[in-house]
Amino acid sequence: MTIGIDSIAFSTSKYFLSLETLAKHRDVSYEKYCLGIGQTKMAVFPPNEDIVTIAIDAARKALSSIEDKNAVDLLIFATESSFDLSKSAGIYVHKFLGLREDCRAFDLKQACYSAAAALRLAESYAANNPRSKVLIVGSDVIKYPPSASGEPTQGGAAIAFVVSQNPRILEIEPYAGVHTDDIMDFWRPAHLDNALFDGKLSAYNYLKSLDICLERYFKNSALKLSDIDCACFHSPFGKMARKANNQSFKYKSLDKTLIYSSIIGNSCSASLFICFLSLLDHAKDDLTGKRIGFFSYGSGSVAEFFSGVVRKGYKRELRAEENQKMLADRIEISFSEYEKLYSGEFRDFDKYQNIGSVKLSKIDNYRRIYENIGG
């Protein structure tokens, strides 16, 4: 019995800010961004787009290649950007996808690790329910205060993937290395819109956790470093993933994993799997049979290294041209527009376009009202 990723897709905002523009207005060198942290653009979200709208768009694409969406009886929404401490964001996704009424739906949180955690839960569920498929959505929008060191890493995106037996894209292997530690490197109190963080501590603990997880992974699997053909890392910004790669692997294929994230920004829970999708879409060589290593890190902190083997015929399930067109068709905004959108002072829900077919149309007494575009 094999279990893994059967279908995968992603989405992001219709709008972006060039970091060249940001550098000019922050009076810093553009090289500090494009070379120093490995980023060139960041997704910016207008009032009508949020973690739900992009999640629906990603999920619809991921389900488009699933023969029977009624097989989906579990939906896990992984996020650290939830706008409600009670109701799951997954409930909205469930509604607009038209999933069966007896499909379980709930949110899962542990910083940027949450989508990887959802995958581990989905594996057990799929093992015990052979006919079932699990839809996992990781969706986040990250914001930092203006001029903060984290500002150029802002962004957001949603990943959606289906987990099942006999997967068509990636078979997840049963062993892993995990490390949990109580540290305060990144946190977001409920009453604050922006995250608080200790960047140096976070970077240190990321790399420390990678070493620990790798040691435990190799002990649990009896594999060697040479058995892993390439690796994908959680990428809060490109330079962090490069440091991780240089510390442990030195894979030349790393560049392929960072193409999408470098023009989206930090997508938190979606980040690791967007890097995987970027690798699939841009690798020139056939990856069939290749063992891919995955390192997920969620501040606070939980980290895990696991692996999967790429399935024969995986290329038939990709939508590289569609992904690249989505990114190419985004609209660049000015710095003044960025400031308005960041501050939240501009709440015109009808002015902006959407990346997908669902928009946030209004907020009434804290009720978020979503509707299909066109009514």
Which residues are identified as catalytic? 80, 112, 234
Rounded to an integer, what is the distance from CA 302 to the centroid of its chain? Answer: 16
Buried/exposed 80-110: b ≥16 CB within 10 Å, e otherwise: bbbeeeeebbbebbbebbebeeebebebbeb
Q: What distance, in Å, lies between the first and last C-alpha atoms of the chain?
A: 44
Query: Six-digit token pair at 11?
Result: 């989405």
Distance CA(300)–CA(133), nearest Å, equals 30
Q: Could you tell me if 239 and 38 are in contact, meaning their C-beta atoms sit under 8 angstroms apart?
A: yes
H or E element in which residue 274 lies:
helix 271-282
Q: 132-147 as b/e, with b when 16 or more CB fall inside 10 Å? A: bbbbbbbbbbbbbeee
Q: Rounded CA gap, 39 and 233, in Å?
A: 15
Beta strands in 101-198 (DSSP E): 104-108, 133-142, 155-165, 170-180, 186-187, 196-197
Helices (H), 173-224: 199-221
CA distance 336 to 343: 11
Backbone CA torsion sign across 177, 182, 188, 189: positive
